[in-house]
Structure 1
Amino acid sequence: MSATEKSALSRRWDTRRVLMAVLGLQLGMALFLAGRDVIGAVPQLVWPSPQPQLTTPVAPGDQTRRYAPRDTPLREMPDRPWRNTGDMPQRLSFERVDDVLHLTGAIEVGDAARFAEALTRESGLTAVQLSSPGGSVHDALEIGRSLRAAGLDTVMAAQDVCFSACPYILASGVARHVDHDAAVGVHQHYFGQSTVLPAFLAVEDIQRGQGEVMTYLDAMGVDTLVMQHALATPPDEIYVLLREELLDYRLATEVID
C-alpha cells in the first residue's frame, strides 16, 4: 500500500471516529434527558396528587381535584348507573332521547367517525348532551367540528361531568347550556400517539396540539384564556371551572339553576 493510500485510509478512520464520537454524545444526551424525565415522573408515581377527591365541593381558589380518567369517584345520583368514571362506557355511547343525542363515556380514537355516522342516521336532533371523563383530543375536536356544522346545541344536566378533552365538544354547541350542578374541568393532556414519550421528544407534538386547540376554541367563540388553567394543571389533577368562569370564558352560554 502506497503512502498516499495509507494517508487516505487514515483520514477515513479519523472521520469515522469523529462521527462515532458525535453519535455517542447525542445518544448520551438523549439517555440523560430521558432519564431526567423518568426521574421527574417518579414522585407522581410514588406520591399521587395530594388534592381532595372530585366529590369534594369546589370553591374559589380551591378548584383543583385529584383525577384519574378511569378511576375517579362521582357523586351518586339515583337515576345514574355509574358511581365512578370507570363505570362509564369505555368509549362514547350514543343514545337518542327525543331530539337530544346523549354522548356518554370515554372519548376513544375512532369515536369522531362513529359520531359522524350517528349524525347521518339521526334526523331532527337539536342538541347533544355530554357526560364524559375525556380521552382523545383529536377525536374531541373532530366531533366538535361536526357538531357545530350540524348547528346543534350542547347540554349538561345535573351531575353530568365533562373533563379533559370533553370541554372541546361542549365548546362546539351553538348554544351551551350547563346545569349549575354539572362539573366541567380542564388539565394538561397528551397530543401524540404515545403518552409515555419523554418531554424532550414530545415538545413538537405538544406545541402543535396546543396551537390547534387554541385555534379551535377561538373559532367556536370561546375565550382561549381558559387554557391557562389547563396548562397549569397536571394530568393527574383536574381544574373544575366555577359558574362565573364558564360564563366569562364563554364555555357556557347559560348556567341553569
Structure 2
Amino acid sequence: MTIGRGLKWALVAQVVLAVFLVIADIDRSWIPRVGSQPPLPSGPVSPGDQVRRYDPSRPHPEFTDRPDRPPIDLPSEFPARLEFSMVDAADDTRVLLLNGPINSGDSERFTNYLAGMNTPPETVALNSPGGVVSEALSIGRGLREAEANTIMLPGMICLSSCPYMFAAGQNRHVSRTAALGLHQHYYETPGYMPVFLAVEGIQYGQGQTLEYLIEMGVNPGLMVYSLNTPPEEIYLLVEEELLQTQLATEMIE
C-alpha cells in the first residue's frame, strides 16, 4: 500500500468515525418513538402520584398547590439566567432571592455578589427550574460557607439541580405549597467524546453530587428519586420524603 492510498483510507476512516459520532450525538427527541406515551397527570401531587412533565420555562407549573400568590412579587417569566436580589418576604423579613435557571458562570457571579454585600444574607429563598449541576454545587458551597439558611416560600419551585443549592442551608424550611423536584441530570461531556468516556464522566458527576449531599448533611439516598426519573419528567418530593432525606429540616405553612 502506497503512502497516498494509506492517507486516503485514513481520511475515509475519520469521515466514517465523524458521521458515527454525529449520529450518536443526535438528540433522542429526534428519534421517533414506537407507540404512544401515556399522558402524565397534572395538578398538585400526592404520595404515589408525584411524576409530572418537566417544563423549565414555566415559573408557576400546575403541580404547585398555590392558594395565593407567592409572598414575593415575581415576574411572569423566568429571567435568562440566575438573578440575585434582596427582597422583602413575609413579616417584613429581608431575604436573598435566587430566581431563574442556573447557567455556566453563575457560581462565579454569585461569589462576586456575596463578596459585594456588607453582611452575608441570613436567609436565601429559591425559585429556579434548575440547570447546570456543577454550578449548583458550587453556589451551594458558597451558601454553606456564608452560613445562610435556605427557604422555599409558598408557590415557589426548586427543580432539577436547584435542590442541591437548597441543601446547602444550615436550616432548610419548605412551605407545604412549594415544590421541590428531581430528575436525571445531564453532565457536561463533549459531543465528540467516545461513549465509554462519556459514561465515565457521568458516573464521576454523580459521585461528586453524592459527596456533596453527604457534605451538606443530606441523606444521599435522595439521589434515588433523580436517577429513576427521566430528564423530561420531574419527581416532586412530598413532605415525608423531604424530612426523611433531611433535605428539609422543617416544613412550614
Q: Would the alpha carbon gap of residues 157 and 133 (structure 1) be closer, same or farther in structure 2, given more than 3 Å must change?
A: same
Matching residue of 1:237: 233
Alignment of 1:101 onto 2:96: yes
Matching residue of 1:5: none
Alpha-carbon distance in 2 for matches of 1:232, 1:239: 9
**Could you tell me which amino acid in structure 2 is paired with residue 67 of structure 1?**
Y
TM-score by length of 1: 0.79
Alpha-carbon distance in 2 for matches of 1:29, 1:50: 38
Which 5+ residue runs of structure 1 have no aligned equivalent?
A: 1-9
Paired residues of 2:189 and 2:201 also in contact (CA < 8 A)? no
**Could you tell me which amino acid in structure 1 is paired with residue 106 of structure 2?**
D
Matching residue of 2:110: 115
Matching residue of 2:39: 50
Matching residue of 2:82: 92
How many residues end up aligned between the 2 structures?
238
Which 5+ residue runs of structure 2 have no aligned equivalent?
A: 88-92
Alpha-carbon distance in 2 for matches of 1:160, 1:74: 10
Alpha-carbon distance in 1 for matches of 2:174, 2:112: 26
Over residues 4-28 of structure 1, what are the superposed CA-to-partner deviations in whole Å (9 max), with x where a residue is unaligned?
Answer: xxxxxx6x87xx59xx59x94x986
Paired residues of 1:135 and 1:166 also in contact (CA < 8 A)? yes
Over residues 76-132 of structure 1, what are the superposed CA-to-partner deviations in whole Å (9 max), with x where a residue is unaligned?
Answer: 65454445xxx1112111111354211111111111111111212221521111110
TM-score by length of 2: 0.80
Alpha-carbon distance in 2 for matches of 1:150, 1:49: 45
1:188 alignment partner, SS class? coil
Matching residue of 2:90: none
Shift of 1:143: 0.4
2:86 alignment partner, SS class? strand
Paired residues of 1:187 and 1:235 also in contact (CA < 8 A)? yes
Alignment of 1:127 onto 2:123: yes
Alignment of 1:64 onto 2:51: yes
2:209 alignment partner, SS class? helix
Matching residue of 1:220: 216
> Which is higher, the Rg of structure 1 or of structure 2?
1
Matching residue of 1:7: none
Paired residues of 2:69 and 2:155 also in contact (CA < 8 A)? no
Q: Would the alpha carbon gap of residues 176 and 43 (structure 1) be closer, same or farther in structure 2, given more than 3 Å must change?
A: farther
Paired residues of 1:49 and 1:236 also in contact (CA < 8 A)? no
Shift of 1:188: 0.8
Q: Would the alpha carbon gap of residues 203 and 30 (structure 1) be closer, same or farther in structure 2, given more than 3 Å must change?
A: farther
In proportion to residue count, which structure has more helix?
A: 1
1:96 alignment partner, SS class? strand
